Amino acid sequence: RKEVEQDPGPFNVPEGATVAFNCTYSNSASQSFFWYRQDCRKEPKLLMSVYSSGNEDGRFTAQLNRASQYISLLIRDSKLSDSATYLCVVNDLTGGGNKLTFGTGTQLKVEL
């Protein structure tokens, strides 16, 4: 079983739609969580951190459920420019390390 699992998609949605991605992680000792965005043939970039209380950044809302070990990302009023691959990322800080484990990503295509 992979440490971080995501539905690869693609999710094809019309502009203006709301779309949600989920991700599950296997290491219960994981301590911090992120969503990264990766455009085609580009490097991953941090979209937002995910906090236990849930957090929002404009049209984007991230939530964490530690008991069920899943993380979600909600995108409201999706734009064409949101088309990208969204990577769920988990940080394991045990042993003084700082290792990020990436999911394989969920592809989003926003269409006219």
Partner 1 sequence: DARVTQTPRDKVTEMGQEVTMRCQPILGHNTVFWYRQTMMQGLELLAYFRNRAPLDDSGMPKDRFSAEMPDATLATLKIQPSEPRDSAVYFCASGDGGANEQFFGPGTRLTVL
Question: What residue ranges bind partner 1 (CB under 8 A)?
Answer: 31-32, 34, 42-46, 87, 91, 93, 97-105
Closest to partner 1 by CB, 42 vs 77, is: 42
Taking the complex as a whole, the smallest distance from the CB of residue 61 to partner 1 amounts, in Å, to: 19
Taking the complex as a whole, the smallest distance from the CB of residue 111 to partner 1 amounts, in Å, to: 23
Strands 106-111 and 11-14: parallel
Closest to partner 1 by CB, 69 vs 91, is: 91
**Nearby residues of 73 by Cβ (< 8 Å), 6 or more positions away:** 20, 21, 23, 35, 47, 60, 61, 62, 86, 88
C-alpha–C-alpha distance, residues 75 and 60, integer Å: 5
Closest to partner 1 by CB, 55 vs 101, is: 101
Taking the complex as a whole, the smallest distance from the CB of residue 58 to partner 1 amounts, in Å, to: 18
Closest to partner 1 by CB, 40 vs 67, is: 40
Taking the complex as a whole, the smallest distance from the CB of residue 32 to partner 1 amounts, in Å, to: 5
CA distances 53 to 1, 87, 92, 96, 103, Å, are 28, 20, 19, 25, 22
